[in-house]
Every structure is written in structure tokens, then in C-alpha cells.
């Protein structure tokens, strides 16, 4: 039995000759150039995203009235929500009369932190976590990160939340 004759090459191959061996050949220099440029683009893009995130960090919503000065005696606290109704926060009036506020969401596993009147700590009952009322830093238990700080503004006899500092 005779071999079948090799089928004729399609006509387009004659019109558009492609040298496959050369087409797939990439020199080490070209590969190095590609990888270097690709890495540079990634570094620049990552830097731009980081810079943008730092400059335009969300700072909460518009100012929201959260309490009257007279509502919270020294050593006391009040609950409020900021920047949305889904974000529980706690306002504290320290013994020296200063107001501070934090997110009420524990930085360990998101239970709500509570405050006993007169205490210098916020307490998370889920795993016995503790935070300093003065600056929100963790002082005991599993939490490792401080509570997000709510920025406050006192306007006359009213206290407003004006931003969030993560």
C-alpha cells in the first residue's frame, strides 16, 4: 500500500509565511527586560495605591450629634452609632472631664466592649479583653490592636462625632 501523498499546504501559508521556530524564540535578554519592566510597573502601581489609601482614608461620615455634655458625667459613658447606624461606638467622659470615643467593636473577634462607671478600662466580656479608656490601646487579654478612635468636636453644649481614626 502506497503512502498517501502529503496534503498540500493551504494557500494562506504562502501569502502569510510564519516561521514558527523564530516566532517562539525569546532571548534571555528580552525575558529579563520583560520581567524587570513588569516588576517596575507593579512597584509603582502598589506605591500609588498605598499613597492613595493613605491620603484618602475614609474619615467617617458627616458630623453627627451624639450627646449633650450634661448627659455624661465624669467617669460615665454613653453609646452611639457612627458613621452609620450599623457602627456601634462608645463615648466616655474621663475623670478629668475630657471626652473620648471609640468603636465599640472589639479588635479581637468583634464582640462589643463595655464600660463600668468610673473604670479606667473598657472590657470585652467574650474573652476577657481590656482596653485603656485614655487611648484605646489593648491592656489585657487577646486583643492586639487598639480600638478605632472616634474624633469628637464639642460645639457649645453638644458633642459631635466628626471622623474615625483607625
Binding site for ligand FES (CB under 6 A): 106, 108-109, 111, 124, 126-127, 129, 141-143
Residue 121 or 162: which CB sits closer to ligand FES? 121
The DSSP output letter for 9 is P
Grid coordinates standing for 97? Answer: 472631664
Q: How far is the CB of 111 from ligand FES (least distance, A)?
A: 4
**What residue has cell string 484605646?**
136
Give the separation between CA 90 and CA 82, rounded to whole angstroms.
Answer: 10
Complex with ligand FES: residue 32 or 110, whichever CB lies closer:
110
CB atoms within 10 A of CB 83: 19
User: Hey, what's the cell of 13?
Assistant: 501559508
Alpha-carbon Rg for the chain in angstroms: 31
Q: Which is nearer to ligand FES, 99 or 102 (CB)?
A: 102
Give least dist CB 148 to ligand FES, A: 14
Residue nearest to ligand FES (CB): 129
Q: Which is nearer to ligand FES, 60 or 138 (CB)?
A: 138
- Three-state secondary-structure class, residue 129: strand
SS3 (DSSP) at 85: coil
Amino acid at each position: 500500500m502506497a503512502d498517501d501523498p502529503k496534503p498540500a499546504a493551504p494557500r494562506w501559508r504562502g501569502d502569510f509565511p510564519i516561521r514558527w521556530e523564530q516566532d517562539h524564540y525569546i532571548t534571555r535578554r528580552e525575558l529579563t527586560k520583560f520581567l524587570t519592566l513588569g516588576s517596575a510597573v507593579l512597584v509603582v502601581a502598589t506605591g500609588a495605591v498605598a499613597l492613595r489609601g493613605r491620603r484618602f482614608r475614609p474619615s467617617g461620615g458627616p458630623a453627627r450629634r451624639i450627646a449633650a455634655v450634661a448627659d455624661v458625667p465624669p467617669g460615665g459613658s454613653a453609646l452611639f452609632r457612627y458613621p452609620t447606624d450599623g457602627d456601634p461606638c462608645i463615648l466616655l467622659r474621663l475623670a478629668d472631664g475630657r471626652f473620648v470615643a471609640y468603636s465599640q467593636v472589639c479588635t479581637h473577634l468583634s464582640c462589643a466592649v463595655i464600660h463600668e462607671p468610673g473604670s479606667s478600662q473598657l472590657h470585652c466580656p467574650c474573652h476577657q479583653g481590656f482596653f485603656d479608656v485614655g487611648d484605646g490601646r489593648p491592656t489585657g487579654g487577646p486583643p492586639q490592636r487598639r480600638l478605632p478612635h472616634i474624633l469628637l468636636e464639642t460645639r457649645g453644649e453638644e458633642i459631635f462625632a466628626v471622623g474615625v481614626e483607625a
